[in-house]
């Protein structure tokens, strides 16, 4: 493995491409016939690579917004706290919104964000995650569009980091824990 710190590849570039294509088709079919633009909201920073690929596979009029929340800091253990570091640019009242996440692990982050979004009175809220790690779930999250379910391993690449590193890997790899 040329990238030091990555033990092995879990999801290849080809698998990522196929998965994003499928999710784009599912989302397109789900919202077909809608009258207003879809608001696609990416949760920074982990979702930005997935988000960039995903929106190009959604064949509908849409607008994009981002929200930054703090999750793990520089480690691999969740603190359980979710803080909004950067809020949305626009109101989502009366709009159809699609929340895009890189990975749902305990569900703590996403469940809190979904509640926060629902309090802003959108017309609908649906959620899409690239990866799902259900074995560690402690907070319930209804995932409408799910990419790939993975075992309980800490993964990096395709936007996911360890201490801000590895986000640029074109595949998803398992971190070599020291
Ligand atoms: P949750 O609140 O569901 O436990 O965690 C959600 C956030 O934790 C994700 O958005 C992601 O930033 C981080 N996270 C959870 N599991 C992993 C993982 O395996 N690798 C990386 N890089 N981040 C993870």
Count: domains in the chain: 1
Looking at residue 141, the DSSP 8-state letter turns out to be -
Q: Of 89, 105, 132, 161, which residue is the catalytic one?
A: 105
Phi-psi region of 14 (alpha: psi -120 to 50; beta: other; left: phi over 0): alpha
| Domain contains 18 | no
Ligand 1 closest atom vs CA 160 = 22
| Sheet with 155-156, side-by-side order of all strands | 6-11, 172-175, 155-156
CA of 72 from ligand 1 middle (Å) equals 7
| Domain contains 113 | yes
CB 99 near ligand 1, within 6 Å:
no
E-state strands within the chain: 6-11, 38-44, 62-70, 83-86, 96-104, 124-132, 145-149, 155-156, 172-175
Residue 75 exposed, middle or buried by CB count within 10 Å (0-12, 13-18, 19+): exposed
| Domain contains 105 | yes
CB 160 near ligand 1, within 6 Å:
yes
Which residue owns the Cα nearest ligand 1 atom 16? Answer: 105
| Domain contains 137 | yes
Distance CA 88, CA 76 (A): 27
Which domain, by its residues, includes 150? 6-10+23-175
| Element spanning 113, H or E | helix 108-118
CB 111 near ligand 1, within 6 Å:
no
Which residue owns the Cα nearest ligand 1 atom 11? Answer: 103
Specify whether 105 is catalytic. yes
| Domain contains 88 | yes
| Domain contains 131 | yes
Q: pLDDT of the chain along its 178 residues, tens only?
A: 555 689 999 999 999 999 999 999 999 999 998 889 999 999 999 999 999 999 999 999 999 999 998 765 545 545 556 788 999 999 999 999 999 999 999 998 899 999 999 999 999 999 999 999 999 999 999 999 999 999 999 999 999 999 999 999 999 999 887 6
| Domain contains 17 | no
| Domain contains 126 | yes
Q: Which of 50, 72, 115, 130 to mutate to test the pocket of ligand 1 (most atoms within 8 A of CB)?
A: 72
CATH number at residue 66: 3.40.50.2020
pTM over 0.75: yes
Distance CA 125, CA 63 (A): 15
CA of 101 from ligand 1 middle (Å) equals 9
Question: Do residues 125 and 118 make contact, with C-beta atoms less than 8 angstroms apart?
Answer: yes
CB 71 near ligand 1, within 6 Å:
yes
């Amino acid at each position: 493995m040329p990238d030091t710190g990555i033990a092995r590849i879990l999801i290849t570039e080809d698998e990522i491409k196929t998965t994003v294509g499928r999710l784009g088709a599912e989302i397109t079919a789900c919202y077909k016939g809608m009258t207003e633009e879809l608001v696609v909201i990416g949760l920074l920073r982990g979702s930005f690579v997935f988000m960039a690929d995903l929106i190009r596979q959604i064949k509908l009029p849409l607008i994009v917004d981002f929200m930054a929340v703090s999750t793990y800091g520089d480690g691999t253990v969740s603190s359980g706290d979710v803080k909004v570091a950067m809020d949305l640019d626009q109101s989502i009242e009366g709009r159809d919104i699609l929340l895009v996440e890189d990975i749902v692990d305990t569900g703590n982050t996403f469940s809190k964000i979904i509640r926060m979004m629902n309090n802003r009175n959108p017309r609908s809220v649906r959620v899409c995650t690239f990866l799902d790690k259900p074995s560690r779930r402690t907070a319930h999250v209804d995932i409408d569009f799910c990419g790939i379910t993975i075992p309980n391993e800490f993964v990096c690449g395709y936007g996911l980091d360890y201490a801000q590193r590895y986000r640029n890997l074109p595949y998803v790899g398992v971190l070599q824990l020291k």
